[in-house]
Amino acid sequence: MSDLVPISITVNGRRYELEVEPRLLLVHLLREKLLLTGTHVGCDTSQCGACTVLLDGRSAKSCTVFAVQADGSEVVTIEGLERDGQLHPVQEGFWEEHGLQCGYCTPGMIVSVVDLLNENPNPTEAEIRAGISGNFCRCTGYQHIVKAAQYAAARMRGVSS
Amino acid sequence: MELAGEHRFRAPRQAVWKALLDPEALREAIPGCEQLERIGEDAYSVTLKVGIAAIKGTYTGTVRIADQQPETSYRMLVTGEGKPGSVEGEAELQLSEDGDGTLVRYRGEVRARGAIARLGSRLLTGAAKLLIGQFFKGMESQLQRRPA
Amino acid sequence: MTTMERPVLPKLIGARVKRREDPRLIRGRATYVDDIKLPGMLHLAFKRSDVAHGRIKRIDTSAAEAMPGVVAVFTGKDLMALPGATRPVGARGTYAAKIGAGLPPMPIGTPFPSPDHYAIAPEVVRYVGEPVAVVAAEDRYVARDAVDAIVVEYEELPAVVDPELAMQGQPTVIHEGFPNNLALPYVPMGTGVDPATGQVDNSAIDRAFAEAEVVISQRMVNHRVAPNAMEPRGVVAHWDAGKEFLTIWSATQNPHILKSMVAAVLGLGEHQVRAIAPEVGGGFGCKINIYGEEYVAAALSRILERPVKWIEDRSEAFMATIHGRDLICYLDIAARRDGRILGVKMKLIADIGAYNMLLTAAIPTLTMLMASGTYDIPAIRCELTEVFTNKTPTDAYRGAGRPEATYFLERGMDMLARELGLDPAEVRRRNFIPKEKFPYTTQTGAVYDSGDYEKALDRVLQLAKWDELIAERDRLRAEGRLVGVGLAFYVEVCGLGPSSSLPTGGWEHASVTVERDGRIRATTGASPHGQGNETTFAQMLADLFGVPIEHITIEHGDTGVVRQGIGTFGSRSQAVGGTALMMAGEKVRKKMAKFAAALMDANEEDLVFENGMIYVKGSPSTGKSFAEVARYAYVPVPLPPGLEPGLSEEAFFEPPNNTYPFGAHICMLEIDRETGEPRLLKFFAVDDCGNVINPLIVEGQVHGGLAQGIGQAMFEEVVYGPDGQLLTGSFMDYALPRATDFPWFELDRTVTPTPVNPLGAKGVGEAGTLGSTPAVVNAAVDALSEFGVKHIDMPLRPEKLWRIIHGRGQA
């Protein structure tokens, strides 16, 4: 086995000092070492987006990032979106608008929508579709996900929907 | 997958023919070639390192040369195996004079199996063209350096 | 006790109730198979064949076995205890004592003859991806490294790829005992076919074609697709050597079937196996199957006495998980010039891949069963041949046989309309089974329960504003744009059983328990994996008992908790599972009413369950709280005569027939004249699934079905090379639809309840995949009508369309 590499990483506000194999993927660090299993693996070619997390504030596919590359970074996963026991508005939107069925793509999809709304607080339908086009969903046909994003956007802008 | 193309060398036909069958020149020109050894009459064992996306890996295999028509044409049979799968190929190379240079035309077929076929087939044509291009460029610069 | 402040509980059946599954899913707190970690758990990885067809000459596992962290490597011969299994590996010294004669060939669920199919190929591999060895290691990275270190030498055999050549035994025969690669040589169905004897009388179908004024003939392919549930398959197996008890977690749609089959294959009793479907990330039919990896995981846990886990990755799934569809149809329609159909012939060739899986052989028979569509067709003849090829086996994929029937017939209806110069809606209307003819028996033997097809057609024409849509198309065409409009109708068979139609049994089971505190725990044998039954089933019980939905839990997917069950497939959960649940609920309610009547000295027939109270009709203030009556049932002092204590009942529901939901889809599609790229502009769907419990969930099901049906029509295709190599082995090459590929879906519904179950519900899971596929292709053919195109085989790849536009023929 390769030599272990020390890294320091902040995940959902908590700092971890770890020693990892250089080939360990960030998604496996999160799932296997930190037991944050909300982030899923849906493919091995970084197409599906089920593994999307926020890496230093921007969405990233954690199956395509080595843990050592995230050294010194701040990661937010689906488990870290709630504030004081309150759902993030995007999570709320997915629930309100039936934006999920089997739930497997959902954590990555939610994180992508969070990133999208951080960049563009008032996206059009086409902009939402483009914003989540790096995430596959096989259940919903995406329409209720678009509505979930619209709901969240309205909430985050302080508009009641 | 079928491959075809051509390259014009700025060197006479005899020199090109010689270079294309010279293990020393081949080892230098084949991209990622780590080892090339003669194992018999017109047969070589090869170790290649390929660094392109889904077909990345180290391949070991053999190259055999057949049907030599001196300074005109020959067939090349290649097999290779690596972690991402295996490849088998057959190509015919034809040389003809082109003014003061030599035109090399090639036409061949490559069969892949394993992950190379599943993941890399879309990239394979492009990758093969890239590698062939690099090969001819390498040959060209050798021919310029050591004219026959 | 005061009752005045009790809130009034809304009736929930028919309401858009938010899903109760969602909080755990949106918070990342759900537990899928890969989230399960057991102490001492080993990881499995499979070495899979790189050749489509070959004989294993040699497998060298020595390098793999020598790697640190590798516990054992098994080949097919080892695991099946076949001659040649000699090398002692790992703990295999005790192997024979534990598994006896080794793993037998895998069972299938259809009664047709089938070649032996081992979980790990012992001698001959027959498709790319077939397992040839398995590694058990301490960590998944090590297991993968070890798989890469296994060297296999094959004697390559010719690959059988084209099913129509395969039928002639070309280039070779894959299975001994199946000459010309025929899995099922010839199965006729329809007019003049005696199902008991197989005798065929051609007079009626021949007469129909002799009398025809117009005949439409077309060869079509409903091509191979990959189901691609977003969660790949996975399994964790734990053999408790002390108790001699196996627990198996699997991403499955039917844990009860898994339990039975794993027990049978491992030589255990069903009382020694518990199967659990934890959170399951979609199935779409591909997780109905019981796969070799499940048997191997169970066997290795038993041999090695350690828990084991196997998780499929996506590129593995493209080879190792069943594919769907892959049916060739030679369609002939005989009709009069007024559009009335006299007869239909479908000659079907199914490319089923290398082996029969659980339901493989049965799926194309559903295509024959549904060949009449929504039309009153006096003569139908279907003929089916199933063919082995060197490809991944096919089996159920969303719709399973019915989308194929719909596609062929609805393409044919459009060709007929075009040939006769009739409006496509009008041709369909002239052939509809009239609503007074239900129940209607088709020429292929399906007994349609109920239907009002004209109503659904009128509704979708209204929804799409048909005349305006056609005018818009013509206006855009006048600008030089290639725009087409497509319509398709469908009827599907859902709510599977009855038991006569399913080898597993076609019933469903449920239990309902009112606990001492008045909270309700119910179980269902349906095993949802995204369908939302925890919500819909709780809605039903909330109304039945008059209690808040928050007081109800629906448990599923665990044979240790759910006593019996069949599972979730064939759009059966609501129609069959929902009915079983209501039956069990009504039994409990009846018993509870007896306790309440005793407590209140009232007549049980007069009692009302509402707003958390049980009271005599008309006098809510004199009632007892639901919880109080529940407590009394468990501490029954005095015990009313003739009653046992407790409130817990179960029910099995055996449906008398299938259900037949239907609907109509319309779309508008544009093709870029320069690039050939198709783009869907509008989509309208009217679906009739009978009575609806939760419209929000029904919409979601329809959306998802549409996406998969459109995906097949436009993007998705499993492609094999001429040497049997799988060329679409990842999402880089297999085009799964993205959010940007779809327009806004406009939906509406008609409601025609079924008489088959007391809920009047028919099922909706698969519906979207039926109408959408032919609607899209019909629109594409319409868009290219100026080029004289009669038919385009799916998927609508830009290159194919570009060739038509630029006069280069069909690709």
* Domains identified in chain A and CATH numbers: 5-80 (3.10.20.30), 89-156 (1.10.150.120)
pLDDT per position as a tens digit, A90-126: 999 999 999 999 999 999 999 999 999 999 999 999 9
Q: d(Cα C347, Cα C331) in Å, to the nearest integer?
A: 7
Q: Write a three-state SS string for C608-646.
A: EEECCEEEECCCHHHCEEHHHHHHHHHCCCCCCCCCCCC
Same domain, C506 and C471: no
Quote the Cα angle for B83-B86-B90, to 5°: 150
Answer yes or no: is C79 within a domain.
no
pLDDT per position as a tens digit, B17-28: 999 888 888 888
Nearest CA in chain B to C317: B118
Same domain, C628 and C755: no
Let me know: does C6 contact C612? Beta carbons within 8 Å: yes
Show residues of chain B in contact with C728, CB under 8 Å: 118
Answer yes or no: is C207 within a domain.
no
pLDDT score, position B53: 65
Same domain, C606 and C743: no
pLDDT score, position C196: 87
Mutation target vs C (from B119, B124, B125; most C CBs, 10 A cutoff): B119
Could you tell me which residues of chain B have a Cβ less than 8 Å from any Cβ in chain C? 54, 83, 85-86, 111-115, 117-119, 121-122
User: For chain C, what is the domain count?
Assistant: 2
Check residue B118 and report its DSSP letter. H
Nearest CA in chain C to A97: C18
Same domain, C481 and C455: yes
- C179 phi and psi angles, rounded to 5 deg: -60, 145
Same domain, C736 and C670: yes
Residue holding tokens 């928050």? C550
Nearest to A104 among C21, C230, C768 (CB): C230
Show residues of chain C in contact with B122, CB under 8 Å: 727, 732-733
Answer yes or no: is C394 within a domain.
no
Q: Which of C618, C653, C688 is the last residue of a domain?
A: C653
Q: Which H or E run contains C652?
A: strand C648-653
Nearest to A50 among C230, C704, C745 (CB): C230
Q: How far is B111 from chain C (nearest CA, A)?
A: 8
C730 touches chain B (CB under 8 A): yes
Q: Which of C653, C673, C698 is the last residue of a domain?
A: C653
pLDDT at B34 over 70: yes
C284 touches chain B (CB under 8 A): no
Quote the Cα angle for C742-C744-C746, to 5°: 130
Contact C50 B122 (CB under 8 A): no
Same domain, C427 and C453: yes
Q: DSSP states of B88-106 as a string?
A: EEEEEEEEEEETTEEEEEE
Tokens, residue C241: 């050597």
Same domain, C545 and C680: no
Same domain, C553 and C580: yes
pLDDT score, position B54: 66
Nearest to B122 among C319, C723, C732 (CB): C732
Band of pLDDT at residue B147, cut at 50, 70 and 90: low
Show residues of chain B in contact with C51, CB under 8 Å: 113
Let me know: does C432 contact C452? Beta carbons within 8 Å: no
Mean of the pLDDT values across residues A20-46? 96
The amino acid present at C79, given as its one-letter code, is L
Nearest to C729 among B83, B86, B119 (CB): B119
Same domain, C455 and C486: yes
Show residues of chain C in contact with B115, CB under 8 Å: 315, 729
pLDDT score, position B30: 86
Answer yes or no: is C487 within a domain.
yes
Q: How far is A149 from chain C (nearest CA, A)?
A: 13
Answer yes or no: is C713 within a domain.
yes
Let me know: does B127 contact B53? Beta carbons within 8 Å: yes
pLDDT score, position B148: 47
Answer yes or no: is C300 within a domain.
no
Peptide bond into C83 cis (omega under 30): no
* Mean pLDDT per 10-residue interval, chain C, length 811 residues: 66 97 98 98 97 96 95 90 53 45 88 95 97 96 95 96 98 98 97 92 98 98 98 97 96 98 93 98 97 96 94 96 98 98 98 97 97 98 98 97 98 98 98 98 97 98 98 98 98 92 92 98 97 98 98 98 95 95 98 97 96 94 95 97 97 96 98 97 98 97 98 98 93 96 98 95 95 98 96 97 84 43
Q: Which of C653, C687, C703 is the last residue of a domain?
A: C653
Contact C26 A23 (CB under 8 A): no
Mean of the pLDDT values across residues B57-70? 90
Question: Range of C535's domain?
Answer: 22-30+498-653
* CATH numbers and ranges of domains, chain B: 2-145 (3.30.530.20)
Same domain, C526 and C481: no
C699 touches chain A (CB under 8 A): yes
- DSSP-H helix ranges across C275-313: 292-304
Answer yes or no: is C670 within a domain.
yes
pLDDT score, position C79: 86
First to last CA, chain C: 79
Q: C373: phi > 0 → left, psi -120 to 50 → alpha, else beta; which? A: left
Answer yes or no: is C159 within a domain.
no
The amino acid present at C207, given as its one-letter code, is R
CATH number at residue C454: 3.30.365.10
Mutation target vs C (from A78, A143, A146, A151; most C CBs, 10 A cutoff): A143
Show residues of chain C in contact with B59, CB under 8 Å: none
Check residue C394 and report its DSSP letter. B
Q: Which residues does C242 contact at the CB level (< 8 Å), separation at least 6?
A: none
- Tell me what percent of chain A is helix, strand and coil, each rounded to the nearest 5: 35, 20, 45
Chains B & C: contacts with CB separation below 8 Å: 43
Report CA-CA distances (Å) from C309 to C105, C297, C304, C393: 22, 7, 13, 24
Show residues of chain A in contact with C706, CB under 8 Å: 141
SS3 call for C161 = coil
Nearest CA in chain C to A136: C738
Nearest to C704 among A91, A136, A139 (CB): A139
Same domain, C446 and C523: no
Same domain, C670 and C798: yes
pLDDT score, position C809: 60
ipTM higher than threshold 0.95: yes
